[in-house]
Amino acid sequence: MSPAADTAPRPEGGFPEAPERDSTLALLGEGYQFGRNRFQSLGTDAFRCRLGLAPVLYTHGADAARMFYHPGRFTRRGALPPTAVALLQGRGSVQQLDGGTHERRKALFLELLDPAAATRLVELFNREWERARADWHRRGRITLHTEVERVLTRAAACWAGVPLGDDRGADLRAREIGAMIDGAGAYGPRWLRGWWRRGGTEHWLRSHVRQLRSGPPLPQSDDAGSPAARVASYREEGRLLPVQVAATELLNLLRPTVAVGRWVTFAALALHRHPHYLPRLRAREPGMLQSFAQEVRRFHPFFPAIAGRVREPFDWRGHRFAQGDRVMLDLYATNHDPRLWEHPDRFDADRFLARTPSPYDLVPQGAGEYPRTHRCPGENPSIALLMSAIDQLATRMEYHVPEQDLHYRLDRFPAIPGSRFVIEDVRPGSH
């Protein structure tokens, strides 16, 4: 289907209400399907509900994404639960900024994550993967998700210019960052583990920022120095960022890179369940590698939704949104919207061969344009890393997938196959 199939805005200004007095338990119980279930039953793409007793407009679709990602319209401050902010953002970070300050800080991230950076990251990732693959062969059986997080941690730290120390140090940082990602959508022990682990990572990064600032003068030009040095030397209104904020922004470079490991795990699952794509990937069919990667990002669950609070009052669908109103955009439902995607619940890696997605229909890492919105600045490097991992899995190694629990629960944020994808008998590919 074409994005033009999206329904036109309704003339009426009212939105239907969710059936529950408060939808918090329903969201936790139904998980990624919470929005889809109500969009279908209510016959709408936007409904009102209460989450944590606070009123929210819950939306999905390309038109809602355009509304939500209109530059300057929403703030992320006070929108997400504090538990998620504590693991995925941090006080003073770029995600918590608005207006010109946000645009200038975001410009730093876009410079650090430009095409040259993506190329360098992929080179380091491939180097670390090849190194790890030899170890996987010796060990016989490994858990792919855990191993890929280690590979990504090593590659990201080397690229950023943050020393990991010995192998034990590298493994420790991988466990810490992995725990943050795994606990971001949770309550209880999983969240506490991520929060506790974040403390160790931040201490490590604060120490590195102080070391950089106490050494030789840091580079001032935009094209000199490692990403860590660039963040440590970045100034706002003539002043260096507080050490804690600089450490948080370094973590905001490392953690999303390691988070790509979840898509790598889902890519391995997709290759296992749809092996008919392997010959085409091995033959280097034009466009197939990127199309497969995009379908992994569209089809499999990761970030369920994004939340915002209105900064500037505006009108949409005949309704006046006041300052402070809360709105949530369901990313998973948008990526499975039948108005945008033919057979949305079918994995079809061919769908992107003849279609370039718009900034508002394929939204696993947000929507809109990068410079002026809160869309993830590392999206293109993430795609490049995922493509490289798929190539490694499909053409550069062979392995056996033993019997295991490959089911992933849609009531778990973020989702992951139960076994985290175990493989054995890893050896170099012969293709």
Is residue 55 a contact partner of residue 79, using CB atoms and an 8 Å limit? no
CB 360 within 8 A of CB 387: no
Q: Strand, coil or helix: what is 71? A: coil
CA dist., res. 224 & res. 52, Å (int): 46
CA-based max dimension of the chain: 65
Sequence-distant (6+) residues with CB within 8 A of 392 are 126, 129, 133
Q: Where are the beta strands (DSSP E) in 32-163?
A: 46-51, 54-59, 74-75, 141-143
Cis peptide before 414 (omega within 30 of 0): yes
What span, in angstroms and rounded, lies between the C-alpha atoms of 395 and 128?
A: 17
d(CA 236, CA 202): 21
d(Cα 112, Cα 41) in Å, to the nearest integer?
A: 44
Q: Are 35 and 332 in contact (CB under 8 A)?
A: yes
Query: CA 301 to CA 387: how far, in whole Å?
Result: 18
Rounded CA separation 249/205 (Å): 10
Q: Which two tokens stand for residue 309?
A: 């609070």
Q: Is 376 annotated as a binding residue?
A: yes
Amino acid at 131: R
Q: Which amino acid is at 30?
A: E
State the binding site: 376
State the binding site for heme: 376
